[in-house]
Amino acid sequence: MLSDPELTRILNEKAKRLAAQASQSPEAIVRLTTSDFDSKINGDKPVFVDFWAVWCGPCRTMEPVVERLAAKYSGKMLFGKLNVDEESELATRYEVQSIPTFMVFKNGQPVDATIGAVGEAALDRLIQKSLGSGTPIYR
């Protein structure tokens, strides 16, 4: 086994930075389930929902993008992840047929959505548009 004190120091510093970042925004992205979904989307803030699955490569590609946007819009919007394999009834309810699907809810209603690994700029535009006045996309 190799022992490099400099590498150990660097890894320890990085672990401390990551822990500090995580503690600064403990609820940056919440895990959404059937039991809390309706209460979360009916809150006082708009809600950005990432419909995803563990096995989905594009979902994993978009994960750091969603994390950056959650940090950027902290306090203005709630960010949640919904695993479509574990919460299939919610995916069906909102007609999610492809993942990743990103949907924004206001007052319990979806107001906008996009599908696929669309990139950070496209999701940022979706969020900015949704923070304005949006009308429901489903009735």
> Active-site residue 56, yes or no?
yes
Instruction: Decide: 127 and 83 in contact? Cβ < 8 Å.
Output: no
Burial (CB < 10 A; 0-12, 13-18, 19+), residue 15, is exposed
Torsion sign across C-alpha atoms 22, 23, 29, 33: positive
| Preceding peptide of 100 cis, ω within 30° | yes
Residue from 32, 41, 59, 127 carrying the catalytic annotation = 59
Token pair of 62 as six digits: 């978009």
CB 28 within 8 A of CB 79: yes
Catalytic-labelled residue, pool 56, 66, 70, 91: 56
User: Known catalytic residue: 59?
Assistant: yes
Q: Which residues are part of the catalytic machinery?
A: 56, 59
